[in-house]
């Protein structure tokens, strides 16, 4: 995966030179790079914390659930240069920025839809190598599995970012994470790698998952 580690930072090569997407620093060396902020992107936090089994090629296809304004999407767009990111977001206000971003970056396909109803975008989205889920909703494990069942390639993976407080504000995060893992295993998913997102995000975990076909 084309992610560059330098000192305590990570960066991606900027697909759209001179354009900063969310105020991130641009660095000019042999090429232009964008610093990937782990406090703004859970994927950057996971990579800095040692996530090692996620592989993205420049032709990879990604289904991204909870794209928001496109902060993380933009870095994935730097990596899968000749691939595609189907970026699902259900807030029309938030999606405006995402749509603007997709005009600059042809590998982003913005989709204004509810990720709990994946059949509504069945005709638009192809099978993907990665399904990334960061919707911060109580039922996100269920919607993640629904999307995995419909869109994951046979050798594809899913990355589920879990925020304990979005699921239950009272229960201990450890217990919440265990319950979500149990739900995944009961439905035939295997956890390949687990990574905590501290110190960048409190009480969050990232689960890299594959489906047993």
Ligand X SMILES: C[S@@+](CC[C@H](N)C(=O)[O-])C[C@H]1O[C@@H](n2cnc3c(N)ncnc32)[C@H](O)[C@@H]1O
DSSP code per residue over the chain: ---EEETTEEEEE-SSTT--SSS--EEESSSEEEE--TTT-HHHHHHHTT--S----TT-EEEEES-TTSHHHHHHHHHSTTSEEEEEE--HHHHHHHHHHHHH-TTEEEEES-TT-GGGGTTT---EEEEEE----TTHHHHHHHHHHHHEEEEEEEEEEEEHHHH-SSS-HHHHHHHHHHHHHHTTEEEEEEEE-TTTSTTEEEEEEEE--
- Chain position carrying tokens 């999606």: 95
Tell me whether residue 116 or residue 149 sits nearer to ligand X (CB atom). 116
Please pick, from the candidates 12, 71, 102, 107, the single residue that binds ligand X as defined by CB under 6 A: 71
Smallest distance from the beta carbon of 4 to ligand X, in angstroms? 19
Site size for ligand X, by CB under 6 A?
Answer: 19
Please pick, from the candidates 3, 115, 125, 159, the single residue that binds ligand X as defined by CB under 6 A: 115
**Considering the rule CB under 6 A, would residue 141 count as an interface residue with ligand X?**
no
Tell me whether residue 66 or residue 173 sits nearer to ligand X (CB atom). 66
Smallest distance from the beta carbon of 140 to ligand X, in angstroms? 8
**Considering the rule CB under 6 A, would residue 136 count as an interface residue with ligand X?**
yes
Ranked by CB distance to ligand X, the top (closest) residue is 66
Smallest distance from the beta carbon of 65 to ligand X, in angstroms? 6
**Considering the rule CB under 6 A, would residue 41 count as an interface residue with ligand X?**
yes
Tell me whether residue 60 or residue 74 sits nearer to ligand X (CB atom). 74
Q: Residue numbers of the site for ligand X (CB under 6 A)?
A: 41-42, 65-66, 68, 71-72, 88-91, 94, 114-116, 134-137
């Amino acid at each position: 995966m084309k992610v560059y580690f330098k000192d305590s930072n990570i960066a991606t090569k900027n697909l759209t030179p001179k354009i900063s997407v969310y105020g991130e620093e641009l660095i000019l060396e042999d090429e232009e790079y964008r610093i990937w902020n782990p406090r703004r992107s859970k994927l950057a936090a996971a990579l800095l914390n040692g996530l090692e089994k996620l592989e993205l090629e420049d032709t990879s296809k990604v289904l991204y659930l909870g794209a928001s304004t496109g902060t993380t999407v933009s870095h994935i767009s730097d990596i899968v240069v000749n691939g595609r990111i189907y970026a699902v977001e259900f807030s029309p206000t938030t999606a405006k920025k995402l749509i603007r971003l997709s005009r600059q970056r042809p590998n982003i396909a913005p989709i204004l839809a509810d990720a709990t109803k994946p059949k509504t975008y069945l005709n638009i989205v192809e099978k993907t190598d990665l399904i990334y889920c960061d919707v911060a909703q109580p039922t996100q494990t269920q919607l993640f599995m629904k999307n995995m069942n419909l869109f994951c390639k046979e050798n594809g993976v899913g990355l589920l970012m879990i925020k304990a407080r979005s699921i239950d504000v009272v229960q201990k995060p450890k217990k919440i994470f265990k319950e979500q893992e149990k739900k995944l295993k009961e439905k035939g998913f295997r956890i390949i790698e687990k990574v905590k997102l501290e110190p960048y995000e409190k009480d969050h975990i990232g689960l890299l998952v594959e489906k047993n076909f």
